[in-house]
Amino acid sequence: MRGLRPLLLTGVLVLVSAAFCCAQRSYAGFDKNGYPGDSLLPALRRTFAFTGYWLNNPPGMTSNPWEGKRAPVRGAGFGFLILFNGKTDAQLRNQDAKQLGRDDAAAAVAAARREGFPAGSVIFIDQEEGGALLPEQADYMGAWIAALQAAGFGAGVYCSGIPVLAGPRMISTAQDAQTRFPKAKLWVWDDRCPPAPGCVVPAGVIDPAKSGFPRALVWQYAQTPRRPEDTAACRQTYSEDGRCYAPGLPHSEQTYLDLNVSSSADPSRGR
């Protein structure tokens, strides 16, 4: 029996090693419409592994402050969440939604190449409006995804994971997009507390699957400004002005942000 003990011990060690090597790790990231500035990147990198990166004008803005900033962001050690601001339903109604999708995909690809992102990078279409996709929204998104993939890039969808009433059922945009476009990566936002912890970066970060979508590549769990109706239980984690700020940094226009978590330190594979 003594001769068996090393074999049993080895087996235990192998199992323990396998458990540690294959444990799921998660990474904290941030996104914001405004560029925080080159000088702030090292301080932000102490907390965050990746950042959102806009390819066109962010919502509500008339220019893109991220344009031309890939080199300093990459040099600071960040991974990327590459974003393209998509069309609203009002912009799609009574239009050729599929052609607009193809046109915007071409614009996204051109911008990604101009910024130096490699082929195969995942670009997320920003779908701000929640609930089930309307027919023109589905046509636009489907055409955008197909054209992006045909150009050699990965396609993702940033959308709400919060269910809303659509006819006789409750459905979220993320559920609808996941069903319609199963090959697209999902970046799900849901800041409801719980399961969201609020404006904090917990030790060990958190599992993106807690968004309610086990296949979600990214979960955006805190937004600025805070939405009072769904964040009352974690309101104390936000600043008095309702914003979420980067941990350990002075509150300013450059340091307020949204918080994300992903199983990848470079979710868009943009490095």
With a pLDDT cut of 90, the percent of the chain lying above it is 86
Query: pLDDT value at position 165?
Result: 87
The overall average pLDDT reported for the chain is: 91
User: Has this prediction a pTM greater than 0.75?
Assistant: yes
Q: Specify whether the CB–CB gap between 129 and 189 falls below 8 A.
A: no
Q: Give the per-residue SS3 of the chain.
A: CHHHHHHHHHHHHHHHHHHHHCCCCCEEEEECCCCCCHHHHHHHHCCCCEEEEECCCCCCCCCCCCCCCHHHHHHCCCEEEEEEECCCHHHHCCCCHHHHHHHHHHHHHHHHHHHCCCCCCEEEEECCCCCCCCHHHHHHHHHHHHHHHHCCCEEEEEEECCCEEECCEEECHHHHHHHHCCCCEEEEECCCCCCCCCCCCCCCCCCHHHHCCCCCCEEEEECCCCCCCCCHHHHHHCCCCCCCECCCCCCCCCCECEEEEECCCCCCCCC
pLDDT digits (tens, 9 = 90+) for 37-53: 999 999 999 999 999 99
Question: What is the pLDDT tens value at each position of the chain, 271 positions in all?
Answer: 333 333 333 333 333 333 334 456 899 999 999 999 999 999 999 999 999 999 999 999 999 999 999 999 999 999 999 999 999 999 999 999 999 999 999 999 999 999 999 999 999 999 989 899 999 999 999 999 999 999 999 999 999 999 998 878 899 999 999 999 999 999 999 999 999 999 999 878 899 999 999 999 999 999 999 999 999 999 999 999 999 999 999 999 999 999 999 999 999 999 9
- Euclidean distance between CA atoms 138 and 143, whole angstroms: 8
Which CATH number among 3.40.50.300, 3.40.50.1000, 3.40.50.720, 3.20.20.80 corresponds to the domain 25-262? 3.20.20.80
For 256, other C-beta atoms within 10 Å of its C-beta total: 22
